[in-house]
Structure 1
Amino acid sequence: MKKVFSLLIVCFQLSLFYSQDKKVFNKIDSLNTAKEVQEFLDNDKNKINYYLNVEDRIDYDRYCTLIADSLNLNQKWQKADFDSNGLTDLLVTGKTSDAAKTIYILDKGDHFESKNLSKGQLFEQCSFSIVKDHTIEYHSVKILNRYGFTKRLTENLVYRFGEFIEENKIPERHNILEIQFETSGSHWNKSVLKMEIVSNRDVTWISRNDGFLTTGVYTTKLSKEKFKEIVDLLNYINFENLADEYEVGYSDAATIYLKVTYDNFKVKNIRDTGGMGTRGLRKLYDILDDLKGNQQWTKL
């Protein structure tokens, strides 16, 4: 009877072990103080792309300090497994020569991937990040336009499609028939682009001074995987209910025009001056723009 009981205990322990997520201890797990976080960022071996001065308290202006205090932001760095690969990642806010900046650092196993989370002074007066489980509760004072109007926003961000984007717990599914993506030039960037993707995965690219190919019309065909990525992202960001127009708080910004034809020939048009509409939209723009250099194009 004792042997049977002992065997049952062992089986129970093994079932607990294999039912739990595998957690691997890494460098980030060992960080316990602001000084240790600073040393981790400054270590050339970690290849972190950003310099931050990590302190116990960020020197915001009076208005932003009141918001930070109301959120009880006592610690400027937090840990979580954002990309669900079993390795602890890091979110840290620190000072730069310009203003406070928040970055996230993902442990990819053989390297660290670091990216900027905050949008900068041109777009936000200030921002604050709070880790909750595997998501980020992102508070910001957004600059709505060039006239100085601001709005306080709270967004739940999740790591999807290789970026932190706005969480959508119940994405809708639409039949995407055609996507048109066009960029206008600006004072600082004269390149323009017009690209059309249809549901059979054919792509037409009208190139005009974009720095990749000579001016002309080019075609290619997307892989099933790439087309699915674009469609899945469109559905996840709930494109149908996004605003029709977005604007940034500075002049001479390039404008992005997005037109999606879907379902029974419904049309959604988005005009995004500055390309800062939503994080999900910016990820979509990046994917579409990257097609220029990642496809084999045929000139018509």
Structure 2
Amino acid sequence: MSEKQIPYYVSVTENIKYGSYCKDIADSFKLNPWEKGDFDGNGLTDIIITGNTRESPGTICILDKGNEFETKKISKGNLYEICAFANVKDNKIEYKSIKLQKYNTDNPLETDLLVYKFGEFIEENVQPKRHHILEIEFRATGCYGRCPSFTLNIVSNRNIEWTADQYNDIGFRDYSGEYESKLSENQFKELIEVLNYTDFENLNEEYDVAYTDSTTGYLKITYDDMKVKTIRDYGMMGTRALRKLYDILFGLRGTVEWRKQ
């Protein structure tokens, strides 16, 4: 196996074996195990740490919120990446990782510049476009287990429809069937702001994780002059900004006052 290649699936045992491989990469970049910065812009010092967990190298950030500390996990885990490390650049995180990609045995070292936005670390978008979003359709499939399967339809007048299929257990209530409601102005504004920040227009149309038995997310966006963008995301790990969008969409099931159709 060449120095630039790692199998697309690596077991826990092999992950430990490749720990030295990751350390060699970190040493070649002269990366420090921890660095300081003010990532959330509140004037207090935050710390980012890269170290070894039981399964693989991992990166976390500890944010100083004044009266408490908040920990954010930045690395995605040994099923998604085998090496992960970070350094600070202008209060942003330069995140380096080797991702495990399906059907690909040559997994290169990739670098993302991450910023703290919408309460998460996501890929920086220097000039997000302000698209006119006409409709958002999102469908989550089931998985090998109790993953919720459902469909959401949201239109520009803030009307929302929810078809709850299986395992939509929210707040001690099991939802099934069709529901409708209307998003608040703040809910809709947040959703559109995050969606535009994802730079969805330039994202891939398909994403796949390297493991099996996971949920697939189907996203369809109708925008501007009836343009359409579709994204199929098996594992729903396509980008960090997309993951934030998915979190919001999943969360709407429990934060909207629904009426049964």
Q: TM-score, normalized by length of structure 1? A: 0.77
CA RMSD of aligned residues (A): 1.7
Count, aligned residues: 242
Rounded Cα–Cα distance in structure 2 between residues aligned with 1:111 and 1:173: 35
1:92 is displaced (CA, Å) by 1.0
Check conservation: 1:260, 1:267, Cα contact below 8 A.
yes
Check conservation: 2:58, 2:85, Cα contact below 8 A.
no
Greater RCO, CA 8 A, separation 6+: 2
1:146 is displaced (CA, Å) by 5.4
Rounded Cα–Cα distance in structure 2 between residues aligned with 1:296 and 1:109: 34
Give the strand-richer structure, 1 or 2. 2
Rounded Cα–Cα distance in structure 1 between residues aligned with 2:197 and 2:88: 22
The answer to whether the aligner puts 1:200 opposite 2:161 as a matched pair is no
The answer to whether the aligner puts 1:237 opposite 2:198 as a matched pair is yes
1:152 is displaced (CA, Å) by 2.0
**Aligned residue type for 2:156:** S
Q: TM-score, normalized by length of structure 2? A: 0.88
**Aligned residue type for 1:292:** R
* Alignment counterpart, residue 295 of structure 1, candidates 232, 245, 256: 256
Rounded Cα–Cα distance in structure 2 between residues aligned with 1:96 and 1:66: 17
Match of 1:269 in 2: 230
Superposed CA deviations along residues 138-193 of structure 1, whole A, max 9, x for unmatched, are 11111111564423211100001110000011111110000011111011234201
Cα 1:155–1:107 shift into 2, 3 Å = same
Check conservation: 1:148, 1:249, Cα contact below 8 A.
no
Rounded Cα–Cα distance in structure 1 between residues aligned with 2:120 and 2:155: 25
Q: How does 1:159-170 map to 2 (within 5 A)?
A: 159-170=116-127
Rounded Cα–Cα distance in structure 2 between residues aligned with 1:149 and 1:211: 40
* Alignment counterpart, residue 22 of structure 2, candidates 38, 57, 64: 64
Rounded Cα–Cα distance in structure 2 between residues aligned with 1:149 and 1:291: 39
1:266 is displaced (CA, Å) by 0.5
* Alignment counterpart, residue 136 of structure 1, candidates 93, 97, 116: 93
Rounded Cα–Cα distance in structure 2 between residues aligned with 1:71 and 1:231: 38
The answer to whether the aligner puts 1:283 opposite 2:244 as a matched pair is yes
Q: Is the radius of gyration larger for structure 1 or structure 2?
A: 1
Rounded Cα–Cα distance in structure 1 between residues aligned with 2:199 and 2:112: 15
1:124 is displaced (CA, Å) by 0.5
User: 5+ unaligned residues in a row in structure 2: which ranges?
Assistant: 1-15
1:98 is displaced (CA, Å) by 1.7
1:62 is displaced (CA, Å) by 4.2
